[in-house]
Structures are given as structure tokens and as C-alpha cells.
Chain A
Amino acid sequence: MSTSAKTRIVGSSVPRKEGVDKLTGRARYVDDMHLEGMWHGVTVRSAIARGLIRSITFNPGIDWSEFTVVTAADIPGKNHIQLIFSDQPCLAADQVNHCEEAIVLLAHPNRQRLREAIAAVHIEYDPLPPVFTIEESERQDPIVWGADNLFKSFLLEKGNVDDAWAGAAHVIEGEYRTGAQEHLYIENNGVIGEYSEAEGVTVWGSLQCPYYVHKSLMAVFGLPEDKVRVIQTETGGAFGGKEDFPSVIGSHAALLARKAGRPVKMIYDRLEDLAATPKRHPSRIRHRTAVDASGKLLAMDIDLATDGGAYSTLSSTVLSRATLHACGPYYCPNVRVRSRSWATNTVPYGAFRGFGAPQATFAIERHIDEIAAALAMDPVELRRRNFLRDGMTTATQQVMRESVILEELLDRALRESDYYGRKKRFALENPNNAIRRGMGIAAFFHGSGFTGSGERYLNSLAGIDVTPEKEVRVLVSSTEFGQGTNTILTQIAAEALGLDAAHVVMAPPDTRVVPNSGPTVASRTAMVVGKLIERASLQLLRRLREQARLGGEFDSDEFFSACERLRSSCGDVVSLCRYEAPPDIFWDDQKYQGEAYPAFAWSVQIAQVAVDTLTYAAQVEEFWSVQEAGRVLNPVLAGGQIEGGIAQGIGYALYEKVQWQDGHMRNNQMTNYIMPTAEDVPPIHVYFEEIPFRHGGFGAKGIGELPHDGPAPAVLNAIRDATGVSFHAIPLLPEDMLGKLAVPAPAEEPATV
């Protein structure tokens, strides 16, 4: 394995850049801000899933002259949220397509009065028949979106699947389902909008992608770039949930501000945030797999469907990532993946950590265990026999040019967890025990950065400048929402410039100050944006040496003196770099062939799970995660990403169930939408192997999404190991196991464990 170049700052656990502000309560989240003369804004939402809006009436018992009221008629530009497509209205005008769709906006100085006012807006509908499931949408009757209810479909083909079945020793089929999942960031969605003729629109808010909101506001207000400004405030968790939705709430607050002639703050409470904002796409994935007698994969035929909700939002790109992760980290000569994302009349599903990969990984990693069971083979050995290796090709014919060390990851995970030792012990203990224990494994990869040609289209720009106050500033629109953006990007700049981390700060995440370094999504910040910061820093050093007499060895005083010499001769001291694709990356969007991702991060996870056969409670008792995600820039932050992702993945598997009733989320409270607590999360053991990736910032690949992909299949595989029962759907709650555990009750009192 290659070793890392010697570094001073990269690779060390520099404390979180904004950590002290967060720990002392000084950090300013949007709800902590108050602007002079500011009012509060609220949303009147659809009570039905689908129908025509017949009338909107305002109860005369309220003095409406005190309120600002905004409807679709008040939108000065286009009534749509500009994303990949523009099918989602900013405010419903004639028809609603999901419950909780926004129809009317109200602003008033007093929040209590707004509660009464919402109840005093009466909307009458002519209901239309809704569809709520993939199966209902597939029937294409009724049509609820476009010509065929289909947001997007892909067909990915390699070799010849149809010829492979005849020669197979075994053909194994399975259907796997995943449910919606809530991001459950602890800070709900919130923004402040302001408007003036001179300045245009300004939005402050809790968000991931300032330039997404910027683009959407330009369309809604019909304003040029320089009349729209978006500023990210400290953001209390996002996980994808603040990728696309801030464009909606941001437009709403700004529309109210324009009409009210004053700043308007909109902060959702938990009930509204859970009911009205996007969640993870539910999926149904069918596998049909041919293997030879030794367990080698011969053909994989995969039918993948997602529920996209009422509008297209990001469903096409989520489907793309699901499609590209559907085969798992395995070599198979013949592959067909048909994938489709269907429209239904629920709140649009959106981005969520993993972005389709957790769904796809759940299916393939559960299915691999089913294949192993059918062959009476060790699931570990089945995986080992089929792992992608150096020089092999994926389903898109992407050649593995970078080193693939899945076997090393697997061996380390087996060793650290004492996998076989524990399995042996549980096999002895389980038969006489009401609590059955098992070990489950998941092996998987996650593509870093945008899919295919995505990074080329983004064409990100990022860099650094140096202020006369002797501060290096990182200029990016890449935002901090807990993952560590501020810390790792300042580490990278300090490392490359030969300065201390304390000399480097983040420029404010304000579209008037920072260039568009792309959205803060897709595990791209460390790898793609980090590389831009590394390049921009080295570029500045070269200029300082060539144009400002900076010596080969220098201290920080000499560095900043050279910067002042450059400033006096050239003006601003700024160094920007634009994205350059690695030279060997080719992608065919039509055939879905080529380099799907510039790099993959790899992981093997193992779960130890105890199933109580009396209460049907499944508890993850211990968890091991081994991964290779390139260079680890900051071990404490990287470990935190892995642990947090695993906890969220365990929630996805065993706790978090969105319950629907006529298109409404019924359990839209933290009381009854349950996430893992401090008592539920097991001890988690995290191990990194490092292979620096030359096109990533100081060798980094993506890390943020990877850990969420594996826990669900690892946990359900462990439940199979413990009980002998295969479950094919998540979330798997006790009521879902009820009556399905064919485990005879122990003859005597359960042994104490």
C-alpha cells in the first residue's frame, strides 16, 4: 500500500474551526437572528393529496389588513422551483398534487396571531384520485405526472444477461423494499427573506447549497444574478434535507418580504418540517441472479423502482446513483439494470445522505446473503469470490484503475470483530436462549463526487484570497453543517501554503463574496473542492515566488509581507482554480457507460445483533466499520462522519418508520418518529485504511455518505444469522417481526445474558 506524503496539518485532528462558537452558544443559527422590523411568516397548506383548487376564502372574523397575504398571483417571475426540471410550483395556483403543498403565505409581527390566521383561510377543492405507491403509479391510471407517471428511467447493460440463465448452476430471485426516512436534523428548516428595489432579494438561511437557492430565486423573482443574494447561516444538520428544499422556503420568505416591505422570518416547527419537507425515496428492488456451482456471479438482472413523490426534484439523479450502485462491489460479466422513478401524490422525495445508494446497497447485500444460503455457502466467502479487483470492470465498464483493497478491508473487519469466533459462540448459546444473537456483514462502495459527467457540468470555481489583515480566506460556496467543511478546507490551505491552520479562515458563505464551488453534496467537498483549494494555494505560492520575491523557506511574516508586495503591484491577492476532470474520465450519458465516478470509497461493515424472541426487539450490540476513503484529512472528524452515518443507518434499519394516512405523514413528531438515542447506539469500532487518491484534496476521497450505505443490510443479515429468518424490507420494527420468527420458545426459563 502506498504511504502518504509527510504533512504537518493534513492528517491531524485540528479542532473544529467553528467549534468554540458552537460550544459556547455564540454560533448564530437563523432563528437566532433578528432584523429590524422583521415579521414572521407561515404557510397555508393543502389538506388533500390531489385536486383542483376551487376557491380560497378568508374568514372575515380576522382583520386581514394587519397581515401580508401572498398567493401564486403575487409571484413576479416564474411560478416554479428551478432545479433539474421546473415542474414544481413555488405556490400551488390551480391544482395541488400532494398533502401539505404550499398554497398561501401569511406574515404578521405576532406569531400567535398567525396560528389563528392559518385556521381562518378556507380552501375548497375538487378532489382528484391520488396514487400513493409505486404499484399504483405503475398502473398509470390515473396519470398524475407527465404522460406516464415516470420521472426518469435508465437501462444499464453489460454483456448478455438473457444467454446466461441456461448455463447457471443456480438462479436466485429476491425482492427488497426500503421505506421513507426522515433526515431529522435537529434544526428545522428556516430562513429570513428581505427585499428592496435597490438591492433585490436577500435570503439568509439554514441550507447546504447557496447557489441552488440563488438560481431558484432568480427564476421566481425574474431578477438578474447580481440582484439575488443568498447567505448561509450556521446550519444545524442537513444530511441532504437542506439541498433542494431551502429553494422552496427561501422563495416563500422572500415573496412575503417583497409584499410586506420588511424582512420576514420563516421557521418551521417540528410538526411542519416532518409533514411538509422531503424524505428519502422509498424503493422496491428485484434481483434475479445466476451463479455457477462455485458461487461465481454469471448474470445479474435488476429491476429497481423508486417512489419520487409529487414533483421530480432530484429523483432522476437519485435514481442514477441507485442504478450505479445496484450491483454492489462485485464483478459480473452480464448485467442488466432497469430502473424507474415513479410519481405519486406524496411530498416530493429528495436528497438524503447516500442518495439512492443505501436503497441499492440494502438490496444487493441482503441478496448476496440469500444467494449464499441457497448455495449453503459462507456469505463471507461468496463475497470474497466475487469482489471487484484491480483491472476489472464495473457494470458500466469502468476499469478499476485505482487499487481496490476490499479483501484487506474484509479480513480486517473479520479479525477486529472476531467474526467467526463470535458466530461459533452464538451457535452454541442460541438454541437454549430466548435472545438469539447473530453476525451480519455488508461490503459496499460509494462513488465520490457527481455522477458521470456531473462534475464537468458543475465546472466549480474555488480558491483563496489574502486580506490586508493577514488572513488567508477560503473562498467556496461549500458549506459547513456539521461534517467539517470549515476545518478540512482550512487545513488543506494551511498545509499547501506552509502556514498554521490558525492563519486560514473561511470567507462568509455569501453568494456576494464566494464563487460557486458547486453544491455541498455527493461526498464531493473533500475530494473535488479540497483539490481546488490545494491547487489554488500552490498557484498563489508560485505567484508569490515569481512576482513578490517569496523565498524557498519562509515564515508566516515573510509570507504575508510577500502578499502585501503582490497586492501593491497587482491589486487583490486572490487565487482561484476551476475544476479539471482527471484525464482518463469518460462518460456516455446515453449508454450509461464509462467512468461513473472519478473514485470510489470502499467499506466492509459487520453488525452483531441480538433478537429477543419474546418481545421481537432487535438490538445492535456492537458494530465494526473498516473503510478506505483515500487520505484521512482529520481523524476525529472522519471518525465522527463514520459513526454518525452508522447510527443513522441503524435507525433506517430498525427504528425509523414514516407512517402514512391518505397522503399525510401521520407520525410527524419526535414522539412517534423514533431515531436511535444514546441508549440505542452500540459501541462502534472504526478503522481506516488509506490509499491517497491523486485527484482528491491531499489524497482524500468522499466519506460522508459511505457509512450510511451498509448498516441496514448488515443488521438484517445479522438477524437472519440469529434467527434463520430472512427479512426483505426496512424499516424492520418489532411489529414487522411479529409472527414471522419461526423460533420455538425455549423449554425452560431463558438463560441470563
Chain B
Amino acid sequence: MTLSYSSIEFVVNRERCQVSVPPMKRLLDVLREDLGLTGTKEGCGEGECGSCSVRVDGELVNSCMIPVLQAQGAHIETVEGLSKSGELHPLQKAFLACGGAQCGICTPGMLMAATHLLAQNPTPSITEIREGLAGNLCRCTGFVRIFDSVIASIAQSHAGPGRKSHAG
């Protein structure tokens, strides 16, 4: 079987990239295999789990569902682009403080979904947070501390969970 290759250009995390790949190759695989950006994860391969979430021209997409040819000329944001100059993004800080990440496999996608949510709506209600993250599955946390993390990042308070934890 012969595969024809196309040259495709786009911007990933503020850097211009050019790849020569089969045009129907999934954006997910191009990011992981051709660009070495393995932070973006595959969970289901059918757009259900959201682990492969990235932003393309400001839209949140499942990169397992996008043939790379659709990304021609696009601006793509992945988890690797969140922290700048070694400084964690406020969401990353909040996830660390609040316990928003456990096994970590859904985390890159969840962070991208949360980034997207806050870009659209900087002060979401808890209902809006639930809706905004409903396309991203997490099997570890029960989502509770992910919500806490998003709320804490909004409050710019990284001292602890926004919700009281009860001990003793």
C-alpha cells in the first residue's frame, strides 16, 4: 500500500511547524509521533474521553477526530504550551494544590478543556464548569477536585482547595 504525503504547515504552541505526512493522519498522531509532543494522550480514539483535547484556532477539539489536513494554517495549543518560561500556568498550579490530577492521563486534555472554558467564560458558575468539562472523562478523581482546581485558579488563590475539607 502506498501512502501519499502532504506538506502541512501550522503553528503549535506559538512555534511554526511543517510536517510531511499522510493528509488523513490524525492530528493526535502527528503531534505525538512527528512533533514529539506526547503530552496529548489517546484514551478512546473515538472522541468520547477528551484525553486528546487540544485547541485549534481557539476551538476545543478532540485531536483523535481531526485529520491533520484540517489543521493546515491553524494555531494549535497543547498542554506543552501552557507553562511559559518554566512558570506553571495558574490552572496547573491550582491542579497541583487542589489534587486535580491523580493518574494524570486525562490531565493534559482536562487542562486544555479548562483553559478553553476560562477563555470563553472567565468566571463560570459550578454548573458551567460541569458543562464545560463534560466532554473530558476522569476515572480517578470523581471530578470534585478538578472543579475545585478550576475555581481556585479563578480566585488566583493557590493556597488550597476552594471547598472545605473536613478532618478530625
10 contacts between A and B (CB under 8 A): A13-B160, A22-B101, A25-B108, A237-B139, A270-B45, A644-B140, A644-B142, A647-B142, A669-B48, A670-B44
Q: Which residues 137-163 of B have a CB within 8 angstroms of A? A: 137-147, 160-161
**Interface pair A236/B103, CB less than 8 Å apart:** yes
Q: Are B144 and A681 in contact (CB under 8 A)?
A: yes
Residue-wise interface mask of A (686-716) relative to B, using a CB-CB cutoff of 8 A (1 in contact, 0 not): 1111100000000000000000000000000
A500 lies within 8 A of chain B by Cβ: no
Does B55 make an interface contact (CB < 8 A)? no
Q: How many A-B residue pairs have CB under 8 A?
A: 189
CB neighbours (8 Å) of A25 from chain B are: 37-40, 78-80, 108
CB of B14 closer than 8 Å to a CB of A: no
Contact between chains at A236 and B104 (CB < 8 Å) = yes
Task: Please report the C-alpha to C-alpha distance between residue A513 and residue B105 in the assembled complex, in whole angstroms.
Answer: 26
Which of chain B's residues have a CB closer than 8 A to the CB of A31?
38, 41-42
Decide: A690 and B104 in contact? CB cutoff 8 A: no
Q: Does A643 reach chain B (CB closer than 8 Å)?
A: yes
A187 at the B interface (CB under 8 A): yes
Q: How far is the CA of A645 from the CA of B142 in the complex (A)?
A: 7
B-contact bits for A672-685, CB 8 A (1 contact / 0 none) = 00011111010111
- Measured between beta carbons, the chain A residues less than 8 angstroms from B40 are 25
A19 at interface, CB cutoff 8 A? yes
Question: For the complex, is A174 an interface residue (Cβ under 8 Å from B)?
Answer: no
- Contact flag A639-B79 (CB < 8 Å), given A647-B143, A671-B46: no
Chain A contact-residue range equals 35 or more
A20 within 8 A of B: yes
Would A632 and B104 count as touching, CB distance under 8 A? no
Residues of B near A349 (CB, < 8 A) are: none
Given contacts A31-B42, A236-B104, A644-B139, contact A677 B96 (CB under 8 A): no
Chain B contact residues: over half helix, strand or loop, or mixed? loop
State whether A640 and B104 are in contact (beta carbons under 8 Å apart), knowing that A13-B160, A23-B111, A670-B46 are contacts in the complex. no
B41 to chain A, nearest CB (A): 7
Closest to A639 in B: B165
Chain A residue numbers with a CB within 8 Å of B44 are 270, 669-670
In the complex, A184 Cα to B51 Cα: how many Å? 13
Interface string of A163-207 (1 = CB under 8 A from B): 000000000000000000001111110000000000000000000
* B residues 90-108 touching A (CB-CB < 8 Å): 92, 95-99, 101-108
A16-B101, A187-B103 known; 13 other A-B pairs, CB under 8 Å? A19-B96, A20-B92, A25-B78, A32-B38, A184-B139, A186-B43, A639-B165, A640-B99, A640-B144, A644-B142, A676-B142, A678-B129, A686-B166
Contacts of B80 in A (CB 8 A): 24-25
Which B residues have a C-beta under 8 Å from some C-beta of A? 1, 32, 37-46, 48-49, 51, 78-80, 82-83, 88, 92, 95-99, 101-108, 111, 129-131, 133-134, 136-147, 160-161, 165-168
The reply to whether A22 and B167 contact each other, CB–CB distance below 8 Å, is no
A644 in contact with B88 given A24-B80, A482-B103, A678-B136 (CB within 8 Å): no
The answer to whether A635 touches B88 (Cβ under 8 A) is no
Closest Cβ of chain B: how far from A269's Cβ, in Å?
A: 6
Of the candidates A15, A235, A648, A688, which one forms a contact with B96 in the assembled complex, judged by CB atoms under 8 Å apart?
Answer: A15
Chain B residues in 8 Å Cβ range of A28: 38
Query: In the complex, what distance in Å separates the CA atom of A683 from the CA atom of B148?
Result: 11
Contact of B92 among A24, A234, A670 (CB under 8 A): A24
Inter-chain contact B142/A684, CB cutoff 8 Å: yes
Tell me how far the C-beta of A669 lies from the nearest C-beta in chain B, rounded to whole angstroms.
6
Q: Are A237 and B105 in contact (CB under 8 A)?
A: yes
Which of B40, B51, B134, B167 is the most central at the interface, judged by chain A CB atoms within 10 Å of its CB?
A: B167
**Cα distance, A25 to B81, chains bound together (Å):** 10
Closest to A640 in B: B99
Q: Is the CB of B130 within 8 A of A679?
A: yes
Q: A23-B88, A237-B139 are in contact. Are A186 and B103 (CB under 8 A)?
A: yes
Q: How far is the CB of A401 from chain B (nearest CB, A)?
A: 23
CB–CB A670/B139 < 8 A: no
Is residue A577 within 8 Å, beta carbon to beta carbon, of the partner chain?
no
Q: Which residue of B lies closest to A110 (CB)?
A: B1
Known: A27-B104, A32-B38. A648 touches B139 (CB 8 A): yes
**Residue ID in chain A nearest B136 by CB atoms:** A678
For A683, the closest partner residue in chain B by CB is B144
Closest approach, in angstroms, between the C-beta of A117 and any C-beta of chain B? 12
Contacts A482-B104, A643-B142 given; indicate if A269 touches B96 (C-beta within 8 A): no
A637: interface (CB < 8 Å): yes
- The reply to whether B39 and A681 contact each other, CB–CB distance below 8 Å, is no
Q: Is A590 located at the chain interface by the 8 A CB criterion?
A: no
A23 pairs with B107, CB closer than 8 A:
yes
**Distance of A28 Cα from B32 Cα, bound (Å):** 12
Q: Which residue of B lies closest to A113 (CB)?
A: B1
Nearest-neighbour CB distance to chain B for A70, whole angstroms, equals 24
Pick the most buried of A23, A27, A681, A684: most chain B CB atoms within 10 A of its CB: A23
Min distance, Cβ B65 to any Cβ of chain A, angstroms: 12
- State in angstroms the CA–CA spacing of A645 and B111 once bound together: 22
CB distance from B114 to the nearest CB of A (A): 11
A67 within 8 A of B: no
Chain B hits for A484, CB < 8 A: 102
Could you say which residues of chain B place their CB within 8 Å of the CB of A637?
99
> Which B residues are CB-close (under 8 A) to A24?
39, 79-80, 82-83, 88, 92
Contacts of B83 in A (CB 8 A): 24
**Which residues of chain A have C-beta atoms less than 8 A from B78's C-beta?**
25
Complex contact A187–B160 (CB within 8 A)? no
Contact between A22 and B141, CB atoms less than 8 A apart: no
A560 at the interface (CB under 8 A from B): no
Contact indicator B134/A678 (Cβ below 8 Å):
yes
* Leading 3 A-B pairs by shortest Cβ distance: A25-B39, A236-B105, A22-B104
**Chain B, Cβ-Cβ closest to A22:** B104
Interface string of A417-439 (1 = CB under 8 A from B): 00000000000000000000000
Known contacts A25-B78, A31-B42, A236-B41; is-contact A185 B142 (Cβ 8 Å):
no
Binary CB contact string for chain A from 264 to 295 against chain B (1 if under 8 A, 0 otherwise): 00000110000000000000000000000000
How far does the alpha carbon of A160 sit from the alpha carbon of B1 in the complex, in Å? 73
**In whole Å, how far is A485's beta carbon from the nearest beta carbon of chain B?**
11
Given A24-B39, A640-B99, A670-B46, are A186 and B105 also a contact pair (CB < 8 Å)?
Answer: yes
**Which residue of B is nearest A19, CB measured?**
B96
Is A559 interfacial (CB 8 A cutoff)? no
Residue-by-residue, is A105-119 near B (CB-CB < 8 Å gives 1, otherwise 0)? 000000011001000
| A72-B141 Cα distance, complex, nearest whole Å | 41
Would A187 and B41 count as touching, CB distance under 8 A? yes
Contact of B99 among A16, A647, A671, A679 (CB under 8 A): A16
B46 to A237, Cβ gap below 8 A? no
Query: Complex Cα distance A238/B104, Å?
Result: 12
Chain A residue numbers with a CB within 8 Å of B48 are 669-671
A26 at the interface (CB under 8 A from B): yes
